[in-house]
Chains A and B, each alone.
Chain A
């Protein structure tokens, strides 16, 4: 269970303060596929970064399976990201000089795993996303869909509790995007929480938890009802 209680996030931009989140409350159950939607600048990516321990809130509390993320030190947050979170980004975020295999190995090598073990696990993760035969290819040699599958493999390789995806289909065509979303739904079925930030309402299907954010606040969760009215 992930709980956000009165979470606020304020950025200092020169002399101005930007309030990205303003007292947001949210609960996400394990094994739930949560879609966070909202207009640009509404604070949805910030929300994802806070849950993923990439950033810290200005106020409020974030509990991840009982662990108060706000209390974690910088080192503990890094440890938390490595062991419990898998990130998927719109820009794929692969290191260009490394092969697909080497990119997927990264979290394992940073965990101190022996190289051979890291190699085997990364290969297995790539096999899981259907890219075993492309493992030696660099990001520049892979298509958008393949890159995103490598990202999914990297997110999976440490067997995390939650997958956080920020616009995972934003740079993909519809068909490839559907494949990626389908992959994520499969991960949810394995018992992981999946939180997907997107602009695309088409991604949601009945049974998903929908969170709508506007101006840093959770507005409602009536997407399904609105969808039903149409």
Chain B
């Protein structure tokens, strides 16, 4: 019986094409908006969280309390400073001082004198939950390679950091040459963009702050440059440090042992990466680390990647809720439009309802007929909206990536989203038809037949 009523409803939709399509359009736009916004939002969330997972959710960063790691540090060091390397003339567009102060890692940085003093062995002794630790410092120094010169962000990790925390360095995947093999390894590894802009390859010599270094390897583009933790998503010292470290594309990386020999009197603000034992409470361990660091008289603060990830997830979750709410409003408007159409349809089809009743349609048949009618229109809008929404999501990730803070990722279509969008469109469509259908079902057949 339901199939027969569905047949009758479909015949009606089919024969009132213009009105049906306009009604469907309202639902289509609503579903499309929901699918697009949620799938893009979830895609961004997944991509960003994956980055944290790559680093490890059991990692705690010790960052200088007064660190002036700027959210735009990587952009400044990368796009402007390195961009200057394009200048073959060798002339600087800005003074070294201005570059350093922008990044905030020069010797005069407020927190620098405190940040360098962490005794990692003592820290590990004080907090046995720490399984491994590494250290990294960052600064900006002048670089020249052939005719090209300018400034480069120099990352100086300890061997432990490179070996144990490669995720923190954007994966530290080598595309040419080799990576570091031991703490005493010499030479420099260049980020993909730095190598490209300076035109250097493996085996070339570059001069950094007057010291000649051999390029032993060139990195793959780091994950951070593809899916970054944008400053709009999360703020705070830990996030800034995370952003600054995980983008290695514009960096020159030199191991700590070699750097200490090259610049014995150079004091740099550093960050400590700590991995804690599986199963222990991150929150409790952070408290203990904080106490231990304070006892050493070092002015640093611990931030867990888990906390950063939670922060990002919370922020993105809120954004998703807001976007989904806006989309839901458009869906609601579509449903109200459908209700309006269905009610108008009942008024227009009063005589038809009388005819149906005269040939034996029960009240519930008429009710079902109109519910199926509106449900089918909702479903059609839902299916089309889902398809278009998926298309728009892929398009949106390409066109809007920069705008929302990420440049390359895929939208994520959760099964619940796909099934939910279709089910919701049918249910919402049917609900929009409830009142008109109830009105139709209750029509007196004699009066309905007398209608014009």
Q: Main SS of the interface on chain B?
A: helix
Segment among A26-34, A76-84, A168-176, A191-199 that sits at the interface with chain B: A76-84
B449 and A102 contacting across the interface, CB-CB below 8 Å: no
Indicate whether A115 sits within 8 Å of B7 (C-beta atoms), given known contacts A93-B355, A110-B356. yes
Q: In the assembled complex, how far is the CB of residue B1 from the closest CB belonging to chain A, in whole angstroms?
A: 4
A98 and B11 contacting across the interface, CB-CB below 8 Å: yes
Residues of B in contact with A (beta carbons under 8 Å apart): 1, 3-5, 7-8, 11-12, 15-16, 351-352, 354-365, 444-446, 449
Q: How far is the CA of A107 from the CA of B359 in the complex (A)?
A: 5
Chain A residues 72 to 111 lying within 8 A of chain B, measured CB to CB, are 74-75, 78-79, 81-83, 87, 89, 93-98, 102, 106-107, 109-111
A55, A106, A111 — most chain B CB neighbours (10 Å): A106
Besides the contacts A81-B358, A94-B355, what 13 more A-B pairs have beta carbons closer than 8 Å? Answer: A52-B358, A74-B362, A75-B362, A78-B365, A79-B360, A79-B362, A82-B360, A83-B360, A93-B355, A93-B358, A109-B8, A110-B365, A113-B4
Contact with B along A155-173 (1 / 0, CB 8 A): 0001000000000000000
Indicate whether A97 sits within 8 Å of B359 (C-beta atoms), given known contacts A54-B445, A54-B446, A55-B446. no
Indicate whether A95 sits within 8 Å of B446 (C-beta atoms), given known contacts A78-B357, A107-B360. no
Q: How far is the CA of A98 from the CA of B359 in the complex (A)?
A: 15
B352 and A95 contacting across the interface, CB-CB below 8 Å: yes
Can you spell out 6 A-B residue pairs with CB atoms less than 8 angstroms apart?
A52-B358, A55-B445, A81-B360, A95-B356, A98-B11, A111-B360
A109 and B7 contacting across the interface, CB-CB below 8 Å: yes
B15 and A98 contacting across the interface, CB-CB below 8 Å: yes
Chain B residues closer than 8 Å to A102, beta-carbon distance: 11
Q: How far is the CA of A195 from the CA of B354 in the complex (A)?
A: 20
Q: How far is the CA of A186 from the CA of B82 in the complex (A)?
A: 99
Chain B residues closer than 8 Å to A109, beta-carbon distance: 4-5, 7-8
Q: How far is the CA of A89 from the CA of B359 in the complex (A)?
A: 12
A83, A94, A97 — most chain B CB neighbours (10 Å): A97
Partner of A54, one of B1, B7, B356, B357: B357
Chain A residues closer than 8 Å to B3, beta-carbon distance: 115
B355 and A95 contacting across the interface, CB-CB below 8 Å: yes
Chain B residues closer than 8 Å to A115, beta-carbon distance: 3-4, 7
